[in-house]
Amino acid sequence: MSDRPRRLRRTAALRDLCAETYISPDSLVQPHFALAQQDGEQPIDSLAGIARMGIDPLLRRVEADLELGIRNVLLFGVTKDKDPEGRTGERQDGPAHQAVRALKQRFADDVTVMADVCLCTYTDHGHCGLLKDGDVDNDPSLERLAAQSVSLAEAGADVIAPSDMMDGRVHAIRAGLDQSGFESRAIMSYAAKYASNFYGPFREAADSAPKDAGPKDRKGYQMDFRNRNEAVREALLDQQEGADILMVKPALAYLDIIADVAAAVERPVAAYLVSGEYAAVELLAREGLADRGELVREHFTAVRRAGASILITYHARAALENGWLNNR
Catalytic positions are 193, 249
Cα 110 from Cα 13, distance rounded (Å): 6
Q: Work out whether the CA dihedral 113, 117, 123, 127 comes out positive or negative.
A: negative
CA distances from 242 to 105, 169, 182 (A): 28, 10, 13
Q: Which residues pair with residue 116 across a beta bridge?
A: 161
Residue 29, classified by CB atoms within 10 Å of its CB into exposed (0-12), middle (13-18) or buried (19+), is buried
Longest dimension (CA), the chain: 56
How many C-alpha atoms does 268 have within 13 Å on its Cβ side? 24
Q: Are 117 and 163 in contact (CB under 8 A)?
A: yes
Cα 76 from Cα 161, distance rounded (Å): 10
Cα 136 from Cα 74, distance rounded (Å): 26
CA distances from 137 to 59, 132, 184, 213 (A): 37, 6, 30, 13
Cα 177 from Cα 183, distance rounded (Å): 6
Q: Are 129 and 141 in contact (CB under 8 A)?
A: yes
